[in-house]
A and B are shown apart, each in its own frame.
Chain A
Amino acid sequence: MRLLAVTVSLGAALLVMATAPSYAAGGDAIFKKSCASCHYTDGPAKEKTISDQLAKKGPELFYAGSKFKKDWLAAWLQNPKPIRPMKYNSLSEVNKGDHPKMSAGDAAAVTDFLMGLTSPEVKAGVIKPAESAQAKAIFGKKMPCTGCHEYSVKGEVHGGKSGPSLVGAGKRLNPDWVYAYLANIKVFKPVRDMPDFASVLNPKDLENVAAYIATFE
């Protein structure tokens, strides 16, 4: 009887293992085949020098599940519109928008795989979208954010081109990740052409800015 119970529960456990994660394993396999040549998914961050960063063919995705909103990710993989105005790692060529496209089915499987890649640096559910006078002044005046990032004012795009566009960032980025990124940038991107602002802005300012970016359309 005892043996039977053990056998049954073991069987049930095996069944669960065989059914539930197999979906994710599918996404994992698709990713290895079609995506891993340009993106790495095993953290921590590997880049130590500028040459390391310049050798990358695409952004690192080891914390994708903390960075992106799930709905955005599934939709973008099927219809990838440029995020960076310039080609990745280039200051002269524009982004041609030639990222590989996925079918709805593959995109869903890969989205599940990527959303499982989370970072312990990101505390979930803390930053809520909010506009504040402080954040507006920091983003638009006191700090050089607009010098390198596009943003939209009533549908009109303004700003610099070297960083990822922040137009539509509210739909794309998890505000908790934006805060963690601003507060502890080296964990995510040890080598990048954006300055480390954590010693210039206090945690409250960083929170306000992350909450403000979460309102970007």
Chain B
Amino acid sequence: MSRFVIVTAMALGLALGVVGSAQAADSKQVFDFYCAQCHGVNGDGKGINVTKDFATDPRNFTVTADMEKRSDEDIRGVIKDGGPSISKSPLMPPWGATLSAAEVDGLLAYIRTMCKCKGK
């Protein structure tokens, strides 16, 4: 009996693990496609659009101290409505009409793995 429970729990865990990583893979694809052009594939703010003309550096998501100041709600909001929605640079575009709510949630989770931080 206990053996059965353990096996079931393991199978369930495995299944959950698979679902979890599939989601992470999707969010990486979404990030690489829409965000990496400015924020860089590693989230360090060094995307190919950041030339000498680029007036404000895109946020470096790997700086824990900066990113932990942002609540999850702030991050979702700035992704949907763009920089000016939180009095930041308009070079951060509004993606609300382009991305689904699930994609925005996935991006938030992905950014949290880059900063290794939680929102306050």
Spell out A's residues near B (CB within 8 Å). 50-51, 53-54, 86, 91-92, 141-144, 146-148, 158-162, 193, 195-200
In the complex, how many angstroms separate the beta carbon of A158 from the nearest chain B beta carbon?
A: 5
Residues of B within 8 A of A53 (CB): 33
Q: In the bound complex, how far is the Cα of B46 from the Cα of A160, in angstroms?
A: 12
Residue pair B33, A193 in contact (C-beta under 8 Å): yes
In the complex, how many angstroms separate the beta carbon of B25 from the nearest chain A beta carbon?
A: 11
Known: A91-B36, A198-B97. A148 touches B29 (CB 8 A): no
Interface of B is mostly: loop
Known: A141-B90, A161-B51, A196-B97. A147 touches B38 (CB 8 A): yes
Residue pair A161, B49 in contact (C-beta under 8 Å): yes
Q: In the bound complex, how far is the Cα of B47 from the Cα of A102, in angstroms?
A: 35
Q: In the bound complex, how far is the Cα of B33 from the Cα of A50, in angstroms?
A: 8
| Chain B interface residue number, banded | 20 to 34
Q: In the bound complex, how far is the Cα of B53 from the Cα of A157, in angstroms?
A: 10
Known: A50-B30, A91-B36, A147-B54. A195 touches B93 (CB 8 A): yes
Chain B, 44-88, contact with A by CB distance < 8 Å: what is the 0/1 string? Answer: 000111110110000000000000000000000000001010000
Residues of B within 8 A of A50 (CB): 29-30, 33
Q: In the bound complex, how far is the Cα of B93 from the Cα of A159, in angstroms?
A: 15
Q: In the bound complex, how far is the Cα of B37 from the Cα of A146, in angstroms?
A: 13
Spell out B's residues near A (CB within 8 Å). 29-30, 32-34, 36-38, 41, 47-51, 53-54, 82, 84, 90-98
Q: In the bound complex, how far is the Cα of B52 from the Cα of A159, in angstroms?
A: 9
Q: In the bound complex, how far is the Cα of B93 from the Cα of A200, in angstroms?
A: 10
Residue pair A148, B97 in contact (C-beta under 8 Å): no
Residues of A within 8 A of B33 (CB): 50, 53-54, 193
Q: A141-B90, A144-B93, A147-B54 are in contact. List 13 more A-B contacts (CB 8 A).
A: A50-B29, A92-B48, A143-B90, A147-B49, A147-B91, A147-B93, A159-B53, A160-B51, A160-B53, A162-B49, A193-B37, A199-B97, A200-B82
Partner of B48, one of A86, A141, A146: A86
9 closest Cβ contacts across the A-B interface? A160-B49, A196-B97, A162-B37, A144-B93, A195-B93, A199-B97, A158-B53, A147-B91, A144-B91
Residues of A within 8 A of B37 (CB): 91, 148, 160, 162, 193
Partner of A161, one of B29, B48, B90, B95: B48
- Using CB atoms, name the residue of chain A closest to B49: A160
Residues of A within 8 A of B29 (CB): 50-51
In the complex, how many angstroms separate the beta carbon of B21 from the nearest chain A beta carbon?
A: 17
Q: In the bound complex, how far is the Cα of B82 from the Cα of A197, in angstroms?
A: 11
